[in-house]
């Protein structure tokens, strides 16, 4: 892994630019940036030297679009060699325009097609339960438009009814769902028994507080609002 000394949140734009060649990034990349940074900076228990350690937290980027922010955060935190960023999208690069867990050890699952991460996350948590591993948590990041996919609602229902308290979903809400979410995103989860928090998706302290708050006996959703697409 690369030397991560000195990389801070303020270096992420520069790291992203190693991939894209300029400092203008798509909404799909920048909308997730602050949540990803907060997760890897102060929430997730994952060792960059051993990213598959069984007791780790699991992070699933279900919304695989615009992974430049993800790659930049992984590089800044030592999960990825910074030199790989410049090869983004090249034939032999492990860094595609959607992440592939078979190519990047620190990435749990390959995503890109929407609506896959949460169902897998529910299954991972059930597996951890079967093994009596009560410490690892599963975090799954979705986009508000990704919630349109019906598969998510199959998983939201089951997670709520089984009371998967080690599960936290983050929904990045940049108001990109074509038909909107009347009544709010959080209400969809609450109706299935989830706890919820809605935060400013650019405020690291708010994000951290919401991601680490106690929610005994129920799964938790954090709706992180950012600028509209």
Is 204 strand, coil or helix? helix
φ and ψ of 74, to 5 deg:
-60, -40
Cα gap 95→70, rounded to integer Å = 10
Assigned token pair, 105: 């050890």
Q: How far lies 168's CA from each of 6, 9, 49, 92, in Å?
A: 30, 23, 24, 34
Q: Among residues 109 and 221, whose Cβ is nearest to other proteins? A: 109
Contact 168, 138 (CB under 8 A): yes
Residue 44 interacting with other proteins (CB under 8 A)? no
Residue 130 interacting with other proteins (CB under 8 A)? yes
Q: Stretches 9-17, 86-94, 123-131, 192-200: which one binds other proteins (CB under 8 A)?
A: 123-131
Site string for other proteins, 45-84 (x = CB under 8 A): ----------------------------------------
Among 154, 192, 200, 203, binds other proteins (CB under 8 A): 154
Q: Among residues 13 and 154, whose Cβ is nearest to other proteins? A: 154
Among 89, 123, 180, 183, binds other proteins (CB under 8 A): 123
Residue 21 interacting with other proteins (CB under 8 A)? no
CA 140 centroid distance within chain: 5
Among 61, 128, 169, 186, binds other proteins (CB under 8 A): 128
CB of 119 to other proteins, least distance (A): 2
Residue 120 interacting with other proteins (CB under 8 A)? yes
CB of 61 to other proteins, least distance (A): 13
Residue 141 interacting with other proteins (CB under 8 A)? no
Is residue 121 exposed (0-12), middle (13-18) or buried (19+ Cβ within 10 Å)?
buried
Q: Which residues contact 123 (CB under 8 A, 6 or more apart)?
A: none
Cα gap 80→85, rounded to integer Å = 9
User: Which of positions 183-212 make contact with other proteins (CB under 8 A)?
Assistant: none
Residue 125 interacting with other proteins (CB under 8 A)? yes
Site string for other proteins, 87-116 (x = CB under 8 A): --------------xx-----xxx--x-xx
Residue 118 interacting with other proteins (CB under 8 A)? yes
Q: Which residues pair with 169 in a beta bridge?
A: 140, 221
Is 117 strand, coil or helix? helix
Apex 106 CA angle, 102 and 107, nearest 5: 55
The residues of the shown chain that bind other proteins, judged by CB under 8 A, are 101-102, 108-110, 113, 115-116, 118-128, 130-131, 150-151, 154-155, 157-158
């Amino acid at each position: 892994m690369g030397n991560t000394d000195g990389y801070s949140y303020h270096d992420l734009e520069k790291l992203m630019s190693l991939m894209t060649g300029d400092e203008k990034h798509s909404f799909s990349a920048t909308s997730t940036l602050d949540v990803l940074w907060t997760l890897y900076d102060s929430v997730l228990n994952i060792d960059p030297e051993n990213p598959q350690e069984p007791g780790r937290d699991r992070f699933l980027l279900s919304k695989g679009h615009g992974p430049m922010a993800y790659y930049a955060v992984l590089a800044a935190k030592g999960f990825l060699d910074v030199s790989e960023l410049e090869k983004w999208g090249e034939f032999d690069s492990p860094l595609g325009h959607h992440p592939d867990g078979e190519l990047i050890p620190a990435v749990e699952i390959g995503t890109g097609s929407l609506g896959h991460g949460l169902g897998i996350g529910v299954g991972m948590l059930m597996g951890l339960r079967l093994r009596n591993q009560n410490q690892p948590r599963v975090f799954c990041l979705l986009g508000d438009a990704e919630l349109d996919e019906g598969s998510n609602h199959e998983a939201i229902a089951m997670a709520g009814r089984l009371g998967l308290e080690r599960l936290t979903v983050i929904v990045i809400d940049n108001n990109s769902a074509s038909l909107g979410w009347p009544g709010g995103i959080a209400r969809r989860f609450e109706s299935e028994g989830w706890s919820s928090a809605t935060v400013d998706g650019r405020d690291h302290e708010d994000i951290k507080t919401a991601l680490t708050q106690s929610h005994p006996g129920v799964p938790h959703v954090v709706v992180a609002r950012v600028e509209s697409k």
